[in-house]
Structure 1
Amino acid sequence: MSYALNEVEATAKRAARGAGYDWGLSEEAAKATRWLCAQGLDGAAVLAGLLEAGYAAELSAHVPQSLDGSWSAQAPLCPLATGAAISDCAARLQDAPLSLGQVSQPAMILPFAAMAARQLDACVTVECEGFQAVTDGAALHCVGDLPDAAARLTIRAAGSLSNRYPTHTRAEPEEAAWAVLNRFAHKTYAPATEESRLLGAGAGLSDND
């Protein structure tokens, strides 16, 4: 199935919230998922993999313990919380590369690297073993396969884009991943009450005939 990017963004936001992230990170998740899809990547599958990991339940264990030196946590880093911190610390990339410890779904870091690139008005390169991505904030080019987890991720203000991915206005997520997002999104819906059921039925108990 093909979906408009607006629909992808809205579903991703509800799904992240349904998984337990606060509204702020849910908004970040939505924008990041949309950006990945606009680059032709399956952002829905990336987000689905992250949400199923259940990091939101104990997020404090998955955020950088310190923003000095190499960033690491008690458990694999959550790319949403870590990505938001990268955006806040973008200026540091002008002085030295940023090294991250074990990161889950590192593809979700790419939209935040793009935000940093826009702030710096320069290309940003994200790389781990067997994979490299370069973004200027608007476009992206990747070499290698996107892993589900990275033991070490390096982000630097460097690189150039000679072969940009074409941008997309619609997304075609994996059916299973889209189902996962909708399952989490469903948790944000208020349960039906007798009153809401009657209102939804139109006339309710009244008879206008």
Structure 2
Amino acid sequence: MSFSLNEIEATAKRAMRGAGYPWGLAEEAAKATRWLAAHDIDACAELAGLLTRVDGVPLADLSPDPKGTTWAAPGGTLCPLAAGAALSDRAAELTVAGIRLEQVARPALLVPFAALMAQQIGRPVTLRWQGGGAVTDGAVLDLSGTAPDLTPLVEVTPGGQIGSATPIRSRAQPAPETWATLNRFAHRTYAPATEESRLKGAGAGLSDND
């Protein structure tokens, strides 16, 4: 199965909406998924794994309180998309001390937001987690080790050296089961809304205007 980056982005956006995320974050997540896929990361697997893990959990329980240098989610598991959006909004505030993110699901999904931060501050940004990490200047990516399903800590700091950059791709080849998972979430957007569906999923209680 081979898909263009446009198809990856569109499907990711629909899957995010089907999972209950608001439009703004769904759009940011879709662009992040495309960025990862373009940098030779199995972005569809990362997104499908995240949505499966947090399905039915309100977004408020997955989002950080972006104050201080240590961020955590009230529900115990931090969504990398919500955390990434908050990080990119505060790129100018990133200091040498960095920001610590606790109990992060699918930390690879933070990488595109680190790329946005790097573009804003004009220098690379480094992410470190147990067993791996990443350095990006916004255009290229150096990924080391492995990216787990859940990591107890991610450290985000300015600076870093890019050694071996990942290849740049124009298409992605997700596994059939991964693509099927994303489309199952996406198909929720086609069904008539019910009171149960409105109350279920990440972002429950949010409107499109939030």
TM-score by length of 1: 0.87
Give the Cα–Cα distance (whole angstroms) in 1 for the partners of residues 30 and 17 of structure 2.
10
Structure 2 vs 1, CA of residues 161 and 30 (structure 1 numbering), >3 Å: closer, same or farther?
A: same
Amino acid at match of 1:91: A
SS of aligned partner of 1:125: strand
Is the 8 Å Cα contact of residues 42 and 174 (structure 1) preserved in structure 2? no
Do 1:123 and 1:160's aligned partners in 2 also have CA atoms closer than 8 Å? yes
The letter for the 1-side match of 2:162 is L
Work out whether 1:38 is the aligned partner of 2:38.
Answer: yes
| 2:199 aligned partner | none
Map 1:33-182; keep pairs closer than 5 Å. 33-54=33-54, 57-74=57-74, 75-182=76-183
Check the 8 A contact 2:88/2:113 in 1, yes or no. yes
Whole-angstrom CA distance in 2 between matches of 1:111 and 1:66: 18
- Quick check: 2:126–2:159 contact (8 Å CA) kept in 1? yes
What is the DSSP-based 3-state SS (H/G/I as helix, E as strand, rest coil) of the residue aligned with 1:7? helix
Counterpart amino acid of 1:138?
A: A
Contact 1:132–1:144, Cα closer than 8 Å, also in 2: yes
Per-residue deviation, 1:55: 5.1
Shift of 1:95: 4.5
Greater relative CO, 1 or 2 (CA 8 Å, sep 6+): 2
Q: Offset of 1:66 from its aligned partner?
A: 4.2
Separation in structure 2 between the aligned mates of residue 162 and residue 72 of structure 1, nearest angstrom: 31
CA distance in 2, matches of 1:78, 1:132: 17
Distance in 1 of aligned mates of 2:6 and 2:160: 30
User: What displacement does 1:57 show?
Assistant: 3.7
Higher alpha-carbon deviation: 58-67 or 83-92: 58-67
Name the CA distance, whole Å, in 1 between partners of 2:100 and 2:72. 9
Contact 1:93/1:156 (8 A) holds in 2: yes
Q: CA deviation at 1:159?
A: 0.6
Asked if structure 1 preserves the Cα contact closer than 8 Å seen for 2:17 and 2:26, the reply is yes
Give the drift of 1:161: 1.4
Query: Which 4+ residue blocks in structure 1 deviate beyond 3 angstroms?
Result: none
How far apart are the structure 1 equivalents of 2:11 and 2:40? 18
CA RMSD across the alignment? 1.3
SS at match of 1:134: strand
**Aligned with 1:188: secondary structure?**
helix
Q: Secondary structure at the match of 2:70?
A: coil
Q: Is the Cα contact below 8 Å between 2:66 and 2:86 reproduced in 1?
A: no
Give structure 1 stretches of 5+ with no counterpart: 192-209
- The offset of 1:85, in angstroms, is 0.2
Structure 2: runs of 5+ lacking an equivalent: 193-210
TM-score normalised by structure 2 residue count: 0.87
How many residues are paired up? 191
**More off after superposition, 8-17 vs 137-146:** 137-146
TM-fit CA distance, 1:73: 1.6
- Per the alignment, residue 25 of structure 1 pairs with 25
Contact conserved, 1:80 with 1:109, CA < 8 A, in 2?
Answer: yes
Given that 2:141 and 2:165 are in contact with CA atoms closer than 8 Å, whether structure 1 keeps it comes out as yes
Q: What's the CA shift for 1:190?
A: 4.9
The percentage of counterpart residues that share the same residue type is 51
